[in-house]
Amino acid sequence: MRQRPDNPGNDPTENPTAGSTDHPAALPGLRILDFSRVLAGPFATMVLADLGAEVTKVERPGSGDDTRAWGPPWDADGRSTYFDAVNRNKRSVVLDLQQPAGIAQAIALAGEADVLVENFRPGLLDELGLGYEALRDANPGLIYCSITGFGSSAKGRELPGYDLLVQAVGGLMSITGEPAGQPQKVGVALIDVLAGLFASVGILAALNHRHATGQGQLIRVDLLSSLLAALVNQASSYTVGGVVPQRMGNEHPSIAPYAVFPTGVGELVLAVGNDRQFASLCRVLEAPQLADDARFCTNPARVSNRAALRAELESLLVTRSAAEWASLLLDARVPAGVVNDIASAFELAESLGLHPTVDLPVTGESSIRLARNPIWLSATPPTYRTAPPLLPFD
């Protein structure tokens, strides 16, 4: 029986279940051949695998994906937890692309695939007879997604596409960290994740085009362009306003107070986005006069006088703990929160009914717990079928 849209068949508060087949998949029968390694490509293919795609991961003999060796920590079966993070719902095959037999197997697999994803050095697969032009002749519907660090131009193809390098040369590190301190990287390989998301969107768009025309196409995503697009307001500050953003620590260039503040115990984040919220903040702090102060009564005024505002707020926040202030402020609808570690963040999500993890059985009695796919679909939710694969014997 069809469920009404306001009464979907799966409840977002239900704990995601490994191996569940209660609902149809969003991408049933979609065959993805995944030549990618490390993070951006594997993240993209895992997102699609969670939605029902059948992903065959191609790994090199001996060591497989680079991230299999990126530990500790390790899981109970000896895989690195880095590899685990982006390789569930896939099967793995070993192909030696330095040998004619391996190339022949790869060509055969590509002939049956709907999507191919790769992140080799630009031009390498062309040299091996596995480029888009060569494979398209035998499989006109093939969607071929190429992920690079800096594009495929003669100059860009020579640059190594590591996330840290892209964060540096792409400007992200220049706006991350304290003003007087070193440029800082983000605490996760964020550009790889963003590129993976852009790649998955591109693949879905190409699938829609193929549904209408029967024709595949070539998709190119590069890490540098992904970063520049993801700079959003910081990018437009430069491209539209001619302003080159600088490091501001935890301050925001256009909003105040929007930062981390010390309290009597612990640190508190305030993310006050409008004047109403600021007035509520002042009432909770028992300093309503600050909301009428000409230096602070509007957001532009607060931005211009952020140092004076910080001094006022710090003198008031020292009287309670961060947890106490967060509770009081949230009750007053002021965006505020404590600075959690990763464990506390997962505990928070669980307490909110978001069920942020899924347990996947592996060998014997063991299982691994991974962060779930955040996409919720009422009719075709993500599924969690298999643990990240062990490396097959060569």
Q: SS3 letters for 270-283?
A: EECCCHHHHHHHHH
Q: How far is CA 18 from the centre of its chain?
A: 22
How far apart CA 351 and CA 373 sit, in angstroms, is 18
Q: How far is CA 77 from the centre of its chain?
A: 26
- Dihedral (C-alpha) 24, 27, 33, 36: value to the nearest 10 degrees? -110
CB 148 within 8 A of CB 119: yes
Sheet holding 267-271, edge to edge: 258-262, 267-271, 336-338
Give the three-class secondary structure for 147.
strand
Sign of CA dihedral 329, 331, 332, 336: positive
CB 222 within 8 A of CB 148: yes
CB 188 within 8 A of CB 214: no
Kindly state the tokens that stand for 90.
């896939």
Residue 192 a catalytic site member: yes
| φ, ψ (nearest 5 deg) of residue 193 | -65, -45
143-148 vs 115-118, strand pairing mode: parallel
CB 316 within 8 A of CB 285: yes
Amino acid, res. 359: D
Query: Which candidate in 65, 75, 114, 192 is catalytic?
Result: 192
Positions annotated as catalytic residues are 192
